[in-house]
Amino acid sequence: MRIAVCVKQVPDTTEVKVDPKTGTLIREGVPSIINPFDQYAVEEAVRLRDAAGGGEIVAISMGPPQARTVLIHSLALGADRGILLCDRGFAGADTWATALSLSMAIKKLGEFDMVLCGMQAIDGDTAQVGPEMAQLLGIPQITYVDKVEIDGKKVVARKTVDEGYEMLEARMPVLLTFMTPSDFVPTNPPFSKISKAQKKPLETWGVKEVDGDPEKLGLKGSFTTVTKVYSPMKREKAVMLEGGTDELAKKLADILAKEGFF
Amino acid sequence: MLSYEFTEEQDMFRQNLREYLQKKVAPHLPKMEEKQEVQPEIIKAMADFELFGPCVTEEYGGPGMDMVMAGIIGEELGRNDPTASTAVFYLVDASWSHVFCRYGKEEAKKEILPDVCKGKKYCGIATTESDVGSDLANMKMTIKKEADHYIVNGDKNYISGLREAKQMGGGHVTLARQDLAAGARGMTLFFLPIKDNPGVTITTDRELGREGMSTGGFNCNKVKVPLKYLIGEENKGFYIVHEGYELARGIIACVCVGAAMKSLENGMAYIKQRKAFGSPIGKYEAIQFQLAEDYTKLCMVRDWAYKALHYYTKEAREGAKIRMQVSKYIAMAKLYAPLWAFDAINHSMQWQGAFGYTWECPDVKAFRAIRSFTLAEGSTEIMHLIIARELLGKEFIAYK
């Protein structure tokens, strides 16, 4: 069983404050953590590898040099090898360029039975990288998974949807994005596991190592840019409309017209 | 070295430990305070995270941490438990299992230490007597060698963890006089089992704080101790016991910093929202000046404590010839950490007004607990003497 897990270092958004003047996030001094959904993906990878009787888990992260701590954390949780994609050529990447970089690294690492990701990063919240990677790798994907088991050469996954759950099957290789179950308590590895993690292989790769085209990676390879991040304006009041469907629709349309939306 | 820098491994360990303690230990603290006893769930949680016997080598079931790590554990326990009961449970175990590991006999180490590291046995320290604290050389407890065992007679008082050793098993690293004519040169260190040991009678005291951890005394009446429980050499115990004291002092300094920093955080949360005369009281300089001074002092003593533990690790593991540095910095940290921590906690209580004088205020628990550390494992008075001795030379020791 060979599993690739993508992990990201993110600011601990429970401690992030918003600048009252600009409305943007104040990241300075905020501690960095492993993206919580990615931690669940790592722990699931360990469980699935062990249930399969062994194998290899490669944790991959794209980020600045300090992002190696989330790889060490992943190794302490049970991953076997870590790859840090760290290069100026990767910087400024949007979700597509990020997905491309990670996919190229995975292709370079060889065949995998599964690629696991958290459903989204808690700083960006786009939930795009996992599905984009599946497309680039040409493998099926199941998103918003909270439970998965292996059945021979396929996986059986429980996907969360608005109405409840769907049970889906897919042949491996497959990409899964995980959301955390409500009863998930992240594991904190003790000293012995952190110490052993320091001795596991952890390499830093650049654009060259993934055989990347610099024009298609990083800022140059990004189709989108983030121009501003801000909190929604706090509304002082809310207007509650009452009535039947037709009546509500007319009232809402009148308000929108009055506000200049059309 | 101006300032100690934590390694990536140490930072990662601390972050994980802090989260773990909040999840696995903090929920059981109310029951611990109610029952006035460290609960089995807490002991198991701490054992599962390899917190016991931290400096015991892997050969004897320990995680083989260095002393800086041991200090980190102390600081985080100080933060997590305002009563410091779990911190005391830990630091006594940590310091004296270290000495046992370094100087104990092979058979005894293999018998006792793996269970200590699993949280199945306790390892304490017993040197203090009712008339003997700082002047250890004058203690009354005796140990006498017979053919194939020792015989121990005497009392110890103000000893932490006797109830714990009795319940869990294990015992106390104990100092007694063997060569009665030789003073400090005639003292022997040994491991004394407490549980099911005929001739050992325990009493308990009621302390001002640290209510989850027992303190008391015991009497030995012709207690037999197997030869395998000798620690170090006969009559050389006085010189070994200071290694345990030094580790304990370094960890205590870290515990004090953890508790006081947490108390300042509690106080800061309060002063940001509590209003008086139209403004949050955190805007008033009288409070800001106290906060600034307390925080600065705690940062300074924290740095000394970790620098001391780093030096101590270098000395113990690499044989570095830095005895004066170790001794001086540990004494400096142990001297001021309890005093400055006590001030910081006291200020935090003051900021919180009448609530700060109620049993519900967590800082009141810390206030009662930290007060003990001007005495435990070496008083502030002795720390003064150690620092002066390192600066002036041994010929200036007043009490010999």
Domains, chain B, in order of start with CATH, read: 8-122 (1.10.540.10), 123-231 (2.40.110.10), 237-396 (1.20.140.10)
pLDDT at site A22: 64
Asked if residue A238 is part of any domain, the answer here is no
Give the residues across from B388 on adjacent strands. Answer: none
The answer to whether the Cβ–Cβ distance between A194 and B23 falls below 8 Å is no
Q: For the segment A173-214, what is each residue's pLDDT rounded down to a tens digit?
A: 999 999 999 899 999 999 999 999 999 999 999 999 999 898
CA distances in angstroms from B195 to A159, B164, B165, B186, B230, listed in the order given: 55, 9, 6, 27, 18
B-chain residues within 8 Å CB-CB of A185? 23
Peptide bond into A20 cis (omega under 30): no
Asked if residue A255 is part of any domain, the answer here is no
Q: Which of B11, B15, B49 faces A190 most closely, judged by CB atoms?
A: B49
Structural domain count, chain A: 1
Residue B376 gets which letter from DSSP? T
Residues spanned by the domain of A166: 2-216
Asked if residue A221 is part of any domain, the answer here is no
Give the residues across from B219 on adjacent strands. Answer: B155, B201
Q: Which of A31, A69, A188 faces B8 most closely, judged by CB atoms?
A: A69
Q: For the segment B82-109, what is each residue's pLDDT rounded down to a tens digit?
A: 999 999 999 999 999 999 999 999 999 9
pLDDT at site A259: 85
Q: For the segment B207-241, what is each residue's pLDDT rounded down to a tens digit?
A: 898 989 999 999 999 999 999 999 999 999 998 99
Asked if residue A16 is part of any domain, the answer here is yes
The answer to whether the Cβ–Cβ distance between A188 and B65 falls below 8 Å is no
- Is the ipTM beyond the 0.90 threshold? no
Residue B165, pLDDT above cutoff 70: yes
The answer to whether the Cβ–Cβ distance between A194 and B13 falls below 8 Å is yes
Contact between B52 and B93 (Cβ < 8 Å): yes
Q: Which of B6, B8, B57 to mutate to test the interface with A (most CBs of A within 10 A)?
A: B8
Residues 49-88 of A with CB under 8 A from B: 68-69, 72-73, 76
How far is the first Cα of chain B from the last one, in angstroms, to the nearest whole number? 33
B18 to chain A: nearest residue by CA? A188
- Greater confidence, A259 or B285? B285
Interface of B with A (CB under 8 A): 8-9, 11-13, 15-17, 19-20, 23, 48-50, 54, 63, 65, 69
pLDDT at site A229: 72
The pLDDT-based confidence of B190 (bands split at 50, 70, 90) is very high
Asked if residue A245 is part of any domain, the answer here is no
The answer to whether the Cβ–Cβ distance between A191 and B63 falls below 8 Å is yes
Q: For the segment B36-68, what is each residue's pLDDT rounded down to a tens digit?
A: 999 999 999 999 999 999 999 999 999 999 999
CA distance A200 to chain B (A): 13
CA distance B19 to chain A (A): 7
A-chain residues within 8 Å CB-CB of B54? 191
Segment B367-387 shows an average pLDDT of: 94
Asked if residue A54 is part of any domain, the answer here is yes
Q: Return mean pLDDT, chain B.
A: 94
Pairing between β-strand A32-34 and β-strand A9-11 as defined by DSSP bridges = antiparallel
pLDDT at site A25: 64
The answer to whether the Cβ–Cβ distance between A189 and B16 falls below 8 Å is yes
The answer to whether the Cβ–Cβ distance between A191 and B13 falls below 8 Å is yes
CA distance B202 to chain A (A): 35
What pTM does this model have?
Answer: 0.90
Token pair of B46 as six digits: 């701490």
Asked if residue A240 is part of any domain, the answer here is no
Residues 195-214 of A with CB under 8 A from B: 195, 198
A-chain residues within 8 Å CB-CB of B50? 190-192
Q: How far apart are CA B187 and CA B216, in angstroms?
A: 23
Q: For the segment B236-280, what is each residue's pLDDT rounded down to a tens digit?
A: 999 899 999 999 999 999 999 999 999 999 999 999 999 999 999
**Block means of pLDDT (10 residues each) for chain A, length 262 residues?**
97 73 69 94 97 96 95 98 96 94 97 97 91 97 96 95 94 97 94 95 96 91 83 76 92 90 78
CA distance A59 to chain B (A): 17
pLDDT at site B1: 64
A-chain residues within 8 Å CB-CB of B16? 188-190, 194
The answer to whether the Cβ–Cβ distance between A69 and B17 falls below 8 Å is no
The answer to whether the Cβ–Cβ distance between A191 and B8 falls below 8 Å is no
A185 touches chain B (CB under 8 A): yes
Give the residues across from B203 on adjacent strands. Answer: B217
The answer to whether the Cβ–Cβ distance between B9 and A31 falls below 8 Å is no
Asked if residue A69 is part of any domain, the answer here is yes
- CATH code: domain of residue A151: 3.40.50.620
CA distance A189 to chain B (A): 7
Give the residues across from A170 on adjacent strands. Answer: A155
B8 to chain A: nearest residue by CA? A69
The answer to whether the Cβ–Cβ distance between B19 and A194 falls below 8 Å is no
